[in-house]
Amino acid sequence: MNDNQEAMSMKIGVVGAGSWGTALANLLATKGNQIDWWVFEEDLCQQIKETRENIVFLPGVALSENLRPTNDLKTAVADKDLVLIVVPSHVMREVTQQMRPYIGLQTILVSASKGIENDTQLTMSGVINEALGGIGENRFAVLSGPSFAREVAMGLPTAVTVASKDMRCAEKVQHVFATPTFRVYTNEDVVGVELGGSVKNVIAIAAGMIDGLQLGLNTRAALITRGMTEMRRLGLAMGAQPRTFTGLAGVGDLVLTCTGDLSRNHTVGKKMGQGMKLEEVLADMRMVAEGVKTARSLYSLSQRLGVEMPIAHAIYHILHEGLDPKDAVHLLMTRDLKHELDDE
């Protein structure tokens, strides 16, 4: 049996029914897999069963009959060859702890969630590892890259990265997800891929603020570039490979999230740049903008590691301490003048 045949015969569960979880679950189902899919909200689960559409998080997308929505977490994850986890970062620990009794010793776990836990400053792989009492490197991977859920669901060409410290595991997951419109590359740098997917959300809030303040394209380009520098600095301090940040999970996802109209984080920043308060913005949103919580994590993590991240720090102060975005721009632009490139 080759890798493609093996991928088609796997028992797969998906945990999470936000826009990204819905898009990925549907992608796997349209490949012919029978997918047990955990939907947290009982009313949403019933609605999906009746209409074959997630009208809350991904309206207008017809869902495959191979998707089997359930409110029972055990049904979704027990006796599976592969479980895809796509829940907001702030509930990752709670959900995976609930999964623990049902996860098989050979089950491959794939995280497609992006964020850093506030209290521990752990990436999602660290949270999952603690919650499940340890995971072998040969059965854990992360999936990330420039991929708006709606465009993936529409079948528009998309390229992502799947990272695992075990290349055999990465290649197996690669074949599970790959389609003619969803190209999957492999990578061994789990921490780099996770950091790229987390830091970019905070920088995207900053980019949105730039657009909301109507500060122009020069400013946004500079912000994205310097945001990449901050991402790379943190990655190097945490043992990531520098080349990862020039790839899909780094610059690819950063550019998309900082410039795309479908970016929730960019939307939060833009509305705040236009004068709305954070509480008002979030009250209008059903979906999670991960950068809001990750800004707090990045602030604590970078301070602990002694990593200079002025843009990320400015966003933290704006979101959580009331700094005016205009004042933040002035502070960033009038910092001490420096050489552009870091030593490493």
Active-site amino acid positions? 200
Pairing state between β 67-70 and 35-38: parallel
Residue matched to tokens 């009313």: 43
Report the run of H or E that residue 174 belongs to, with start and end: helix 167-177
DSSP 264-324: HHHHHHHHHHTT--HHHHHHT-SS--HHHHHHHHHHHHHHHHT---HHHHHHHHHHHH---
Sequence-distant (≥ 6) Cβ neighbours of residue 170 within 8 angstroms? 141, 162, 163, 164, 186, 187, 188
Distance, CA of 206 to CA of 224 (rounded, Å):
9
Q: What is the CA radius of gyration of the chain?
A: 20
Residue type, 284: D
* Strand spans (E) along 16-54: 35-38
Distance, CA of 138 to CA of 110 (rounded, Å):
11
Report the run of H or E that residue 82 belongs to, with start and end: strand 82-85
- Cα 165 to its chain centre, rounded Å, is 19
